[in-house]
Chains A and B, each alone.
Chain A
Amino acid sequence: MSTSLLGKRVLVVGATGYIGQALALGAAKEGAEVLLHYFSNGAAVEQLCTQIYETAGYQPRAFQGDVSEPEEAERLIHSVWRAAGKIDVLINCVGHAVDNSIVFLKPEDVSTTLKSNLATVVNVCEPMSIRMCEQGAGSIVNVSSITGLVGQPMRSLYGAGKAAVIAYSKALARQVAQQGVRVNCLAPQVVEGGLADSMKGMVKALMEENTPIKSVCHANDLVAPAIMLAGDGAPFITGEVINITGGLVTW
């Protein structure tokens, strides 16, 4: 087992998704004490707890809550902080895509998408960053999407939500930098097992063909960049976005 996160307490929000599971397990393998948040998938979080126990030798604590609701998010952070005593790293992996042409989308789809992609991040980051500033250290890693940077047809609202997360993260990074807190983003392309599974076979094959590494992105591809940003190895990196696209997007 590696030790780059040894002694660090890491809260993974959205731990039962494909990316969340990989990042939680990855952080545990690096020596972190992982705390898990989930919304509704109790079976998945139990399975993840078992995996972490088998890998890292401890049973992580899990917390349920709907972080799209500000009061619940505040309550979650309060409970986590009280239980853990401190949180060194926050990893946000919550999001949801609405796929449709602008012609068919409805105004209420804007609110739904912003709530599930932006509000979920802001509702957690705001109370967490205040506490991290008080303790004088912390690292936040928000999982956005390459769609937020370069767009994707039929995903104008998802792109808007993920781009908003990036811009918010940069603004927050500037705000809390002097208190020792860093904020960064990951921007992966669609992940196998996640959004990639909802793509048509032809589109998926085209994307793989156009990706210089000739592969689709896997959730595990996010682990090393997330660990790097989360730990002490990147003290001068904040307000940054790392593309994880196998060379598909190089600008």
Chain B
Amino acid sequence: MVSDSLDSPVGNCISLENTWLVSNKPSISNLGIKTVSVSRYFSEDHEPLDMEVVLDSYVKRSESGVQHALIFCDSLSADDAYEGHVAWLADVDRHTTQIFCTLQVAVKKLAAEKGQKSITLVSDIFGIGGVSSSKAASAYSGALIGMIKSLAKEMSRYDLSINLIAVGALPEVGIDSRLNSAQEKLVKMTKLGSQVSPRALLSAISFLQSSGMSVTGQVICLDGGLLI
């Protein structure tokens, strides 16, 4: 549950001790999530990791078991960071494959567990409306949305809910630094005229983890009204 806490840089805190938290973003600590540890899906040298090994390692350290998976997906760069569409297609492939592998091991683990189980992806909003300067990020984020919708239908028989939170401007989570101009534009276009707060993200995660099968296959936009 989300609660105010003085020991968190953002003044909020969420306890995710039974959650396998996956993120490549060092900035994840800015969100104030209390967890056993944070797993990566790419190594620091950007090599894809064997996610079965990564999950096994987490399970051995975890005392409270694993009931949920929370996967923070990287945002891809703006198109001008790539040398043409062949390069960005390769990056879409690489990232989609690694998220798929992460989902696959999470699904295998959680489907066998009893009780309330969930997988939550945190991505960006580029896959919903498309961004002209970043067809790569749009295609990648779109692929994640399409993937979780099919998986939600496939996994409902195992009482495993799968959802995605599409975040607008939230620097604490870190849209790729090369997308700063797009991020500033997003803030300006946001109906609320401000960035999305980390607290809002923590609340959404909490809500999805506690909603059972009532909410599955959904994309929750945390974009301050940008895509109304």
Contact = CB atoms under 8 A, between A and B. Distances in A.
B143 A153 contact: no
Interface in A113-153: 114-115, 118-119, 122-123, 126, 147-153
Contact of B138 (A119, A152, A167): A167
Contacts of A150: 149
B130 A163 contact: no
Contact of B141 (A149, A165, A167): A167
Nearest to B97: A110
B143 A152 contact: no
A158 B132 CA distance: 24
Contacts, number: 146
A151 B153 contact: yes
Contacts of A172: 130, 132, 135
A110 B93 contact: yes
Nearest to B153: A153
A25 to B, nearest CB: 30
A163 B127 CA distance: 8
Contacts of A204: none
A107 B142 contact: no
Contact of A70 (B85, B97, B138, B151): B85
Interface in B85-144: 85-86, 89, 92-93, 96-97, 100-101, 103-104, 107-108, 126-135, 138-144
A152 B153 contact: yes
Interface in A136-186: 147-175
Interface string A215-229: 000000000000000
A103 B107 contact: yes
Interface string A81-110: 000000000000000000001110101001
B66 interface: no
B135 A157 contact: no
A1 B152 CA distance: 46
B147 interface: yes
A97 B133 CA distance: 29
Q: Which of B86, B128, B217 has the most CB of A within 10 A?
A: B86
Nearest to A172: B135
Given A122-B139, A156-B154, A167-B142, A174 B85 contact: no
A164 B139 contact: yes
A2 interface: no
Contacts of B100: 102, 105, 107, 110, 156-157, 160
Interface size bracket, A side: 35 or more
Nearest to B151: A156
Contact of A171 (B101, B139, B217): B139
Nearest to B138: A171
Contacts of A158: 150
A175 B153 contact: no
Given A102-B104, A167-B127, A175-B135, A152 B150 contact: yes
Contacts of B131: 171, 174
A170 B84 CA distance: 18
A39 B224 CA distance: 46
Contact of B143 (A107, A123, A160): A160
A50 to B, nearest CB: 36
Contacts of A161: 143, 146
A246 to B, nearest CB: 19
A170 to B, nearest CB: 3
B31 interface: no
Contacts of A118: 89, 92, 139, 143
A115 to B, nearest CB: 8
24 contacts: A70-B89, A101-B154, A103-B104, A103-B107, A107-B101, A122-B85, A123-B89, A148-B146, A151-B150, A151-B217, A152-B150, A152-B153, A155-B150, A160-B96, A163-B145, A164-B143, A168-B130, A168-B138, A171-B131, A171-B132, A171-B139, A172-B135, A174-B130, A239-B130
Interface of B: 84-86, 89, 92-93, 96-97, 100-101, 103-104, 107-108, 126-135, 138-155, 217
Given A110-B97, A156-B151, 7 more contacts: A70-B85, A147-B150, A148-B142, A152-B153, A153-B154, A158-B150, A167-B127
4 cross-chain pairs, A with B, having the tightest CB-CB distances, nearest first = A163-B146, A167-B142, A170-B130, A151-B149
